[in-house]
Amino acid sequence: MANRLYQQARQYVELAKETAANGTDYETKETIAKAKNALSSAYANTTVAEQKQLRELQAELDTLE
């Protein structure tokens, strides 16, 4: 079974990307903050392979700011 925190982090990053494309600046900043928090929470509880993917998701978030 996949890590729940990892899955949530991925979902928040996707939501942040959607919000950046369609939402207000405030909504985008809020969603990015939630995504970063989810990534941080997930990182400590994931495998090395998942951590690599989380770093890639973090890089995607960095492009939205």
What distance separates the 2 farthest-apart alpha carbons in the chain? Answer: 36
Q: What is the count of structural domains for the chain? A: 1
Q: 36-64, pLDDT tens digit by residue?
A: 999 999 998 889 999 999 999 999 999 99
- 8 contact partners, CB below 8 Å, separation of at least 6: 38, 41, 42
Query: Which pLDDT score is estimated for 1?
Result: 40
Q: 8-45, pLDDT tens digit by residue?
A: 999 999 999 999 999 999 999 999 999 999 999 999 88
- 17 contact partners, CB below 8 Å, separation of at least 6: 60, 64
Q: How far apart are CA 56 and CA 50, in angstroms?
A: 10
Q: Which pTM value belongs to this model? A: 0.89
Q: How far apart are CA 40 and CA 6, in angstroms?
A: 10
Range of the domain at 50: 4-64
Query: Which pLDDT score is estimated for 2?
Result: 60
